[in-house]
Amino acid sequence: MDRVQVSSTSIASVGYEVQTSTLEIEFQKGGGIYQYFGVPQHLHEGLMQSGSKGSFFQTNIRNAGYSYTKVG
C-alpha cells in the first residue's frame, strides 16, 4: 500500500485502500507500521485534514476499537 508522508510528531506516513477500507499508519521513531481494518473513508479524510493527526488517530481510530495488525 502506498503511504504519504504527513506532518506529525507521532505519525510518519498514512495510506488508505478504499476497496478494503484499510488504513495503514507508519508511526515515528521505530513505532512500526500497522493496518487498521474497516475504517470508513471519511475517517481517513478527517485524519489527513486534522491539525493534530496523533490526537485524531487516538480518538477516532485507536480508541474506537478497529481491528488491526502489525505489518512492519
Cell 507500521 locates to 33
- Position 43 scores a pLDDT of 98
CB 60 within 8 A of CB 47: yes
Q: Tens digit of pLDDT for each residue in 13-72? A: 999 999 999 999 999 988 899 999 999 999 999 999 999 999 999 999 999 999 999 998
Q: Cell for 43?
A: 475517517
**pTM attached to this predicted model:** 0.94
> 33 near 26, Cβ under 8 Å?
yes
